[in-house]
Amino acid sequence: MLSPAAELARRLARDAEAVCRHYLSNGRREGRYWLVGDVANNKGRSLFVRLSGPDHGKGAAGKWTDAASGQHGDLLDLIGLNRGLDRLRDILDEARAFLALPPDPLQPLQGRLPAPRGSPESARRLYAMSRPIRGTLAQAYLHGRRITTLPHGDSLRFHPRCYYRADEDSPTETWPALIAAVTDLDGTITGAHRTWLDTLGHDKAPIASPRRAMGHLLGHGVRFGIATDVVAAGEGIETMLSLRMILPTLPMVAALSANHLAALLLPTTLRRLYVAGDADPAGDAAMASLCNRANAAGIESFVLSPCFDDFNDDLRRLGIAGLRASVHRQLVSQDVVRFLASAVTG
C-alpha cells in the first residue's frame, strides 16, 4: 500500500503537464518535457520535467531535474520548493487542493502535529535539498575570505535558491546560500545555518539578516572533524574555518553565537579544549562560562585570542604565516607537534 505522499505524487505525475502549467507557467512543453528556468518559475530552460512515462522507476513521469543547480525530485518536491513550503503536511495539503481532493481525514485522528517552521525536520530537508559546496558560489565566497581549504566531510553545502523572508509580512525572496549542518555529539542533524550570498558569491546578500539558524541549536554546533580528546570551539563558522587553514586535523565546532558557545555540550572523552575568542564582551563571557564548565569536568581549557576582531580577520590581514605564528604561541607544546607541525609539513 502506497503512503499518502507517494499516492499524491503518483496522482500528480498522471497529470504532470497540468501541474507544470499551474506552477511553472513561464515554461513550455517541448516533446515529452516541460522546460522552465527553475523551481521559482523564472524563464529559462535549465529545469525539465518529464511529462509521460511509467509510474515509477527510470523515466517515470513527474520526475524533474534542474541542470543548473543539480536539484531534482518528484512533483511534490517541486510544489514545496515553488511555494516555499518546508513542512510535508503543508505540501500535501497544497497538492490535495490542486487535485481538488478533500483534506486528509486521518490527520486529526492520528494526532500528527505539523512540524513548526524552523524545526529540525525543516533543517534536515533543507540540507538534503542542498548540494556539495565544491565549485559553487559558496566556495567562491569562502575563497574571498581567504578560506581556500574546505573541510573533509559534508558539514557545508550550497543551495542556489534558498528562501528568505525579512519578516512575516514581507514577500519571499530567493538567494544563493551557504548551508551548514548543525549536529549533536552523535552526528545527528538537529538544525541548519544559512548564510545568504550575493549572486556573484563576492559577499553576503544585501538583505537585513544574511545569517540565520534554524532547528535545535542549544548544545550543538557545526562540526569539522570528530572530536575525541582535543577540540577547538568558537562562535562563527568562518572563524573556525580560518583556524582549520593552519590546523586541518584539529577537530573543531562552531556554536554559531556567544550564548550557544557557552552552552556547548562536550564529549565525555574530551581532555583538552581550546576556545577561539571574538573580541567583544559577549564573546568573553561565553568563553569564561564554557571554560568554567570544562574545568569542572576535569577538562583542560585554553583561550585562543585573535590579534584583531576574529581569526578570519587575522587570516585576511596577517596571512597564513602570520596566523600560524600567532596561534603557535597559544598552543600546548604537544598539540603544536600533533596539529600545527603536521599542517606545516602536510
Instruction: Calculate ∠ Cα 240-243-244, nearest 5°.
Output: 85
Residue type, 195: T
Give CATH 3.90.580 domain extents, the chain.
Answer: 4-110
d(CA 18, CA 62): 11
Angle at 110 between CA 104 and CA 115, to 5 degrees: 80
Q: Which residues pair with 224 in a beta bridge?
A: 252
In contact, 77 and 65? CB cutoff 8 Å? no
Q: What 8-state DSSP symbol labels residue 339?
A: I
What are the start-end ranges of the H helices in 66-216? 75-83, 88-98, 106-110, 120-129, 137-144
CATH architecture of 4-110: Alpha-Beta Complex (3.90)
Find the helix or strand (DSSP H, E) in which 48 lies.
strand 47-50
Q: Which three cell numbers stand for residue 80?
A: 514545496
User: How far is CA 188 from its chain centroid?
Assistant: 13
Q: Which of 291, 267, 265 is nearest to 277 (CA)?
A: 291
Looking at residue 342, what is its pLDDT?
Answer: 65
Closest to 176 in 3D by CA, of 148, 217, 147, 204? 204
pLDDT at residue 15, rounded to an integer: 87
Q: Which residues of the chain form CATH 3.40.1360.10?
A: 218-346
Report the pLDDT value the prediction gives residue 241, as an integer from 0 to 100: 97
Residue (of 156, 133, 160) closest to 238 by Cα position: 156
The burial of 86, by beta-carbon neighbours within 10 Å (0-12 exposed, 13-18 middle, 19 or more buried), is given as buried
Q: CA 260 to CA 42: how far, in whole Å?
A: 39
pTM of structure: 0.69
Round to whole Å and give the CA distance between 158 and 114: 27
Report the alpha-carbon distance of residue 107 to residue 109 in Å, rounded: 5
Closest residue by Cα to residue 119 from 76, 83, 88: 88
What are the grid coordinates assigned to 65, written together? 531535474
Pair 289, 266: CB distance under 8 Å: no
Among candidate residues 249, 257, 256, 276, the one with its CA nearest the CA of residue 149:
249
Class of domain 218-346 as given by CATH:
alpha beta
CA distance 223 to 252: 6
246: Cβ–Cβ under 8 A, 6 or more apart, which residues?
A: 320, 323, 324, 327, 340, 343
Taking the chain (346 residues) in runs of 10, the rounded mean pLDDT of each run is 77 91 92 93 92 83 90 91 84 85 55 60 83 92 95 86 87 93 93 96 96 95 95 97 96 96 96 92 91 97 96 97 97 96 60
Q: What's the pLDDT score for residue 104?
A: 60
Q: How far is CA 338 from CA 14, 327, 331, in A?
A: 60, 14, 10
Tell me if 193 sits within 8 A of 187, measured CB to CB.
no
- The pLDDT assigned to 109 comes to 37
